[in-house]
């Protein structure tokens, strides 16, 4: 029998998981503390911006918008959109451009796009950018996200 722990050590980013675990604890407390944020317009900061793998293994943009004020302060609005269709890539690129980081955002391939997302996130954090996020539902019942204003600390 192979050592499953050695296998996991070689295939799972344990340090990354520990960091995510700590973030989850600090962002949501216990499961009972987490409240689903209803649709509306919120002042938010970008807590996380990354290209990651979906549960099915597909490339997906994930953004965590942390609510900064009001009744839902401290809660997270989650944005997850696949990168497997041209229109979805377009929607992801347009939302990331709306963050107004000054980084040129375009899609050529996944690894360069990942690097762009890292640069956008680093720039947002360094410049203290915050946003008014309009979080709504479209006529087909899908969540929509629109940056309506950009604030700088």
Q: Please give the helix or strand (H or E) that residue 12 lies within, else none.
A: none
> Domain check: are 23 and 70 in the same one?
no
β-strands 76-82, 129-137: how paired?
Answer: unpaired
> Domain check: are 118 and 49 in the same one?
yes
pLDDT value at position 60?
97
> Domain check: are 4 and 73 in the same one?
no
Q: Total domain count for the chain?
A: 2
3-state helix, strand, coil in the chain (%, to 5): 35, 30, 30
> Domain check: are 84 and 128 in the same one?
yes
> Domain check: are 54 and 110 in the same one?
yes
Task: For the chain, 153 residues long, give each residue's pLDDT as a single digit of tens.
Answer: 456 667 766 776 777 767 767 766 665 555 556 788 999 999 999 999 999 999 999 999 999 999 999 999 999 999 999 999 999 999 999 999 999 999 999 999 999 999 999 999 999 999 999 999 999 999 999 999 999 999 997
Q: In whole angstroms, what is the distance from residue 103 CA to residue 107 CA?
A: 13
Return the closest-CA partner of residue 52 out of 135, 102, 117: 117
> Domain check: are 40 and 90 in the same one?
yes
> Domain check: are 90 and 22 in the same one?
no
**Cβ(50)–Cβ(62) under 8 Å?**
yes
**Cβ(116)–Cβ(105) under 8 Å?**
yes
> Domain check: are 79 and 7 in the same one?
no
The residue whose two tokens read 């997302």 is 117
> Domain check: are 54 and 128 in the same one?
yes
> Domain check: are 100 and 148 in the same one?
yes
Q: In whole angstroms, what is the distance from residue 61 CA to residue 56 CA?
A: 14
Q: What b/e string do you get for 1-17 counting C-beta neighbours within 10 Å, with b at 16 or more?
A: eeeeeeeeeeeeeeeee
Quick one: tokens of 34? 């987490």
Q: From the DSSP assignment, how many helices (H) and strands (E) are in the chain?
A: 4, 5
Domain around 1: 1-34
**Cβ(139)–Cβ(109) under 8 Å?**
no
CATH number where 43 lies = 2.40.50
> Domain check: are 63 and 138 in the same one?
yes
> Domain check: are 17 and 89 in the same one?
no
């Amino acid at each position: 029998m192979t050592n499953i722990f050695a296998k996991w050590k070689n295939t799972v980013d344990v340090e990354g998981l520990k960091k995510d675990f700590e973030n989850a604890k600090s962002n949501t407390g216990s499961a009972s503390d987490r409240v689903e944020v209803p649709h509306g317009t919120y002042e938010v900061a970008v807590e996380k911006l990354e290209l990651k793998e979906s549960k099915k293994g597909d490339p997906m943009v994930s953004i965590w918008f942390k609510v900064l004020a009001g009744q839902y302060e401290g809660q997270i609005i989650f944005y997850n959109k696949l990168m497997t269709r041209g229109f979805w890539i377009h929607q992801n690129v347009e939302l990331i451009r709306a963050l107004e980081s000054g980084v040129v955002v375009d899609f050529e391939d996944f690894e360069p796009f990942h690097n762009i997302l890292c640069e956008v996130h680093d720039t947002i954090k360094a410049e203290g950018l915050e946003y008014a996020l309009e979080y709504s539902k479209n006529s087909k019942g899908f969540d929509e996200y629109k940056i309506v204003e950009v604030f700088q600390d």
